[in-house]
Amino acid sequence: MTPIPFFQVDAAADRPFAGNPAAVMPLDHWLADEVMQAIAQENNLSETAFTVPCDTDEADYHLRWFTPTDEVDMCGHATLAAGHVLSHGKPLRFLTRSGVLTVSRDEQDEGLLQLDLPAGVLREDEVPGLAAALGLSERTAWLADGCNDSAIMLLDNEAQVRAVRPDFAALKALPHMAIVTAPGAEHAIASRVFCPYLGIDEDPVTGSAHAALVPFWAERLGRTRFTALQASKRSGTFDCELRGDRVVLGARCVTVIEGYFQL
């Protein structure tokens, strides 16, 4: 058997059992795609992140993400988790399907990680069946290309966000990461994220969703910096900033398991 380093990290959390757990598996070289998918299914977390050292000056590492059922184009919380595991002070650049994503440590508080990723470009459109699958009255959605096909639905307040009870079977037939959001009670905004079509009924804390939510809310709030709560059962928060066509998410991470995957 070959041992592969394994880390399980609670991302967007300041303590164990909060935020969103991600597996991080640093590799020397890529495994076969079907093997990485099988490992992600075995881990049974919303994301498993695999890294390989980059052989060009473009980035420090290649990075790929797998849910238990699919490889995805973007994942924020597992990128933060990879930065948490691999960073030793200097910013790390990860070459991904979504371009180069950077994780750096805050200059005043090195426990705070900052993830730089592309902002979603939003458009308002109809998504037949989405509102009904979320148990909501019919309304338009805001779609964001490049953010795992995010579809944002705006509600009135955080209590409504918390009260949503989706029909997951109906949602699974729709190729969108469904996001419900509203002004928050203690934070500027609140949201929940559902992604059954990628094997995740409700994602606890979602960086790729906030790549769409930050420009969405920056326009409505009239400011580019604010805090965001993802109101899942595990719960987690991001410090959010819109910088032109980029989003910067600040969060903490906690390693809860460290060992080896025997392959």
**Residue 230's pLDDT band (boundaries 50, 70, 90)?**
very high
Determine what percent of the chain is predicted with pLDDT higher than 90. Answer: 94
d(CA 21, CA 86): 16
Please tell me the least confidently modeled range out of 96-100, 108-112, 182-186, 259-263: 108-112
Q: Mind listing the pLDDT tens digit for each residue in 127-176?
A: 999 999 999 999 999 999 889 999 999 999 999 999 999 999 999 999 99
CA nearest to 208, candidates 127, 105, 98: 98
Q: Mind listing the pLDDT tens digit for each residue in 57-71?
A: 999 999 999 999 999
* The model's pTM: 0.95
Q: Which residues are annotated as catalytic?
A: 47
d(CA 261, CA 3): 6
Residue 165 burial (10 A CB sphere; 0-12, 13-18, 19+): exposed
32 secondary structure, DSSP code: P
Domains of the chain are 3-118+249-262 (3.10.310.10), 121-244 (3.10.310.10)
Q: Mind listing the pLDDT tens digit for each residue in 87-122?
A: 988 899 999 999 999 999 987 787 899 999 999 999
The residues, ordered by sequence, that sit 6+ positions from 132 with a Cβ below 8 Å of its Cβ are 138, 167, 170
d(CA 240, CA 227): 6
**Alpha-carbon 94 to chain mean position:** 15
pLDDT for the residue 142: 98
d(CA 127, CA 140): 7
d(CA 8, CA 258): 7
Phi, psi for residue 257 in degrees, rounded to 5: -140, 135
Phi, psi for residue 78 in degrees, rounded to 5: -75, -25
Q: What is the mean pLDDT of residues 204-221?
A: 97
pLDDT for the residue 237: 96
pLDDT above 90: residue 74: yes
d(CA 26, CA 140): 41
Q: What is the mean pLDDT of residues 179-203?
A: 97
CA nearest to 203, candidates 14, 29, 45: 45
